[in-house]
Amino acid sequence: MMSAIRQASAHNRGVAIMAESTTSPAADMTNTATIHKTKPFAAAESLAGTWLSHAILGRFPDRRTIIEGWQEHSPFASAIISVLRPGVFVELGTHRGDSYCAFCEAIALTGLATKAFAIDTWSGDDHAGTYESDILEDLRAYHDHRYGHFSKLVQARFDEAVGQFPAKSIDLLHIDGLHTEEAVRYDFETYRDRLSDRAVVLFHDTQARHEDFGVYKVWRDLASKYPAFEFTHSSGLGVLMVGSQVPQELLWLCHAPESEQRLVRDVFSALGRAVRFQGRSERLWHQVDEAWQRIAQAEHERELFKTAHDEAWQRIAQAEHERELFKTAHDEAWQRIAQAEHERELFKTAHDEAWQRIHSLEEKLAILDKERREATAQKEAWQAFTLPFIRLLDFGHWVLRTGRRRPNAGQTAKHPHDNH
């Protein structure tokens, strides 16, 4: 990586516009800054127009996430890449990549041979809050195929990663890690000897005064030692000309009349707001689209439920109808059962009566049979009793009849019972 960084740095250095400075690159930074501050600025003409054209021609970056804090500075990211043409750009603190991708987009657009490095643990800090690995994965998915050929996402602590950069190799450094005074000083000091003669260092949040944010204190110190320009919008962005040979346009920013500085601030601020509002409006439109999709989905589900509901009602109506049919059949069956019960009762009564009659007839029959047998016995007894008298009567009759007719001699008169 070291040799790639050296090559990139050398390449872009060849086309840079050099600031007027004879200071040795190896000279002490504090002394260099003092020289910069005290040396009269050479460019008399206004470069406001140059900056305004850089601002206006800068492309709005596509990467606009929910972290809006840096988005208003993205027009300046385009401008400084275009003006400084850094061989090596390093960002300390990248998070979702709103700032880093603004620089990368400008590098890609200008076709520079810049090597870019984003350094972050991608686990968060006390100010950004802690977060999970999906943030880095999401950034990689956006970044790798667009910028992977010149840019690298380095997951490390800032002070661990510094060893990857040779001395005096970094032309543009953006410091946006933890925002306490100690952390910002430490980050600047850690990378200080890696800064090239053309180096510019950007500090985000120079205007933030809340919590224990202390960038403004570090900025106040450094801005008194190096040529400096500060954008005050969107929490502030400090532009510190640390190198002794930064391009003239950048030095002009620091020395321009107040009115021209204000013009540059106003234009970048207005453009920045446009970028942020565009991002916000895109997200809102995206939310509107999602809401429409959810509405369409809900409509679809409503239709499905309505169809299912209608079918269910049809089935309920059908079931009601069948229930009525069954109820009618059930009622009829109960009527028939009741009728059958009634008839069974009638038959039972008739049957009982018939049995009673049979029983009483049998009793009568038995009595009659007994009477018949008694009568028969009496008759036979009477017959037996009367038989001798009957025979005597018959004999008397016979005698009478035969006596009247006088039978011939030799004729023996027959008794009537002799024939029997």
Ligand X SMILES: C[S@@+](CC[C@H](N)C(=O)[O-])C[C@H]1O[C@@H](n2cnc3c(N)ncnc32)[C@H](O)[C@@H]1O
The minimum distance between CB 119 and ligand X, in angstroms, equals 6
Stretch that binds ligand X, among 64-72, 82-90, 292-300, 329-337 (CB under 6 A): 64-72
Residue 174, number of CB atoms within 10 A of its CB: 26
Place of tokens 């035969």: 402
Question: Applying CB under 6 A, does 136 fall inside the site for ligand X?
Answer: no
Binder among 25, 37, 113, 125 for ligand X (CB under 6 A): 125
Contacting range for ligand X; rule: CB under 6 A; set: 144-152, 171-179, 254-262, 285-293: 171-179
Q: Is 263 exposed, middle or buried (0-12, 13-18, 19+ CB in 10 A)?
A: middle
Query: At its nearest, how many Å lie between ligand X and the CB of residue 290?
Result: 23
State which residue, 21 or 65, has the beta carbon closest to ligand X.
65
Q: Report the nearest approach of ligand X to the CB of residue 140 (Å).
A: 14
Q: Could you say which of 176, 197, 230, 249 contacts ligand X (CB under 6 A)?
A: 176
For residue 60, give the DSSP letter.
P
For residue 73, CA distances in Å to 115, 160, 190, 202 come to 21, 28, 25, 11
Among 128, 184, 223, 275, binds ligand X (CB under 6 A): 128
The helix/strand count (H/E) of the chain reads as 11, 9
Which of 87/279 has CB closer to ligand X?
279
For ligand X, which is the closer residue by CB, 80 or 128?
128
* Interaction pattern, residues 65-84, with ligand X; x per rule: CB under 6 A: --x-xx--------------
Q: At CB < 8 A and 24+ separation, what contacts does 356-363 make?
A: none
- Min separation Cβ 96 and ligand X, Å: 6
Residue type, 140: R
How many positions of this chain bind ligand X (CB under 6 A)?
A: 21
Dmax over CA atoms of the chain, in Å, equals 220
- Please identify which residue in the block is written with the tokens 């570090």: 218
- Cα 242 to Cα 87: distance, rounded to the nearest angstrom: 16
CB of 153 to ligand X, least distance (A): 12
Q: Please say which residue, 225 or 273, places its beta carbon nearer to ligand X.
A: 273
Q: Which stretch binds ligand X (CB under 6 A): 39-47, 52-60, 176-184, 224-232?
A: 176-184
| The only residue of 178, 201, 228, 240 in contact with ligand X, by rule CB under 6 A | 178
Minimal distance in Å, beta carbon 171 to ligand X? 18
Which residues, 84 to 123, sit near ligand X by CB under 6 A?
93-96, 98-99, 120-123
Q: With b meaning 16 or more CB within 10 Å and e meaning fewer, what string describes 1-29? A: eeeebbebbeebbeebeebebebebeeeb
Q: Kindly identify the residues of this chain, within the stretch 226-285, that bind ligand X according to CB under 6 A.
A: none
Query: φ, ψ for residue 306 (rounded to 5)?
Result: -65, -45
SS3 content of the chain, % helix, strand, coil (to 5): 60, 10, 25
Check residue 157 for interaction with ligand X (CB under 6 A): yes
Q: Residue-wise over 230-254: b if at least 16 C-beta within 10 A, else e?
A: bbebbbbbbbbbbbbbbbbbbbbbb
**Using CB under 6 A as the criterion, which residues of the chain lie in contact with ligand X when the complex forms?**
67, 69-70, 93-96, 98-99, 120-125, 128, 157-158, 176-178
